[in-house]
Amino acid sequence: MRAPHRPSWAARTHPALTSPDVLEVEADLTSRLAARGAAPIGVPDRAAFDASSGLDAAQRDVVTALAGDAELVVVEGAAGAGKTTTLAAARSAMETRGAQLRVVTPTLKAARVAAGQVGSAASSAAWLAYQHGFRWDEHGHWTRLQRGAIDPDTAAMFDGPRAAAVLRRGDRLIVDEAGMLDQDTARALLTIADEHRVRVAMVPMCTRGQAAIKPRSWNDPRKTAGPVIRDLQRGAPGRIRTCATASGEPFSRF
């Protein structure tokens, strides 16, 4: 019996293996994040958000940053630090000024949990990327459909994202468990955010205050986004303002 087809990268087991395509994706991802990190930040209107009920001072700082105009925010905190409560408060604060907070997660199950707990629109990261025309195959090759093109998955004309996937200028895209995303998906999300002038927040998956920065599988040479986020935080200390969440874990705002 013929063996089932395996992706071309399946036999590569050494974590140092890479390719020009992987390096190109990482360079573009880094460039997009760095550009957001270098963007000017206005003076936050703390008075508008400090009244968030039930939050301590540190959590109110996070709400202020998320509801503010920073193009890139990175929030870190271990389990139990109150991130969900803080995100829900940020959603309410943003809605008062006509913007929305949208959450994307690595899995559909996690998205459903986030939608219920935060009260915002939520989906898997892959779903949002797909809605905006990104396609990929079993070999990890990514392409993007343009409006009017025939979608090979449906044989119908691609006419852009569904209404539920539309982003508006000034919205905040929360990328939960960001360190678990592969770099192609992270790049797609940042491309979408750049096109629609949407602000981004990365919420890495943390254990004892440290992001869980390791590839999903050493058999897959496509790297996760975690190291890129970590390197930007280390490389731009002058552009990062740090305070603490309720559990004493770091909160960083580019």
Domain boundaries, the chain: 20-40+59-137+152-253
Q: Give the residue, 40 or 12, on which the prediction is more confident.
A: 40
Q: Is 182 helix (H, G, I), strand (E, B) or coil?
A: strand
Residue 205 has pLDDT above 60, yes or no: no
Q: Is 81 exposed, middle or buried (0-12, 13-18, 19+ CB in 10 A)?
A: buried
Residue 6 has pLDDT above 60, yes or no: no
Fold of 20-40+59-137+152-253: Rossmann fold (3.40.50)
Q: Give the residue, 105 or 7, on which the prediction is more confident.
A: 105
Model confidence, pTM: 0.76
Least confident stretch, 18-27, 113-122, 217-226, 242-251:
242-251
Tokens of 231: 């390197």
The reported pLDDT for the residue numbered 212 is 32
Q: Give the residue, 243 or 59, on which the prediction is more confident.
A: 59
Q: What's the rounded Cα separation, in Å, for the pair 186 and 126?
A: 9
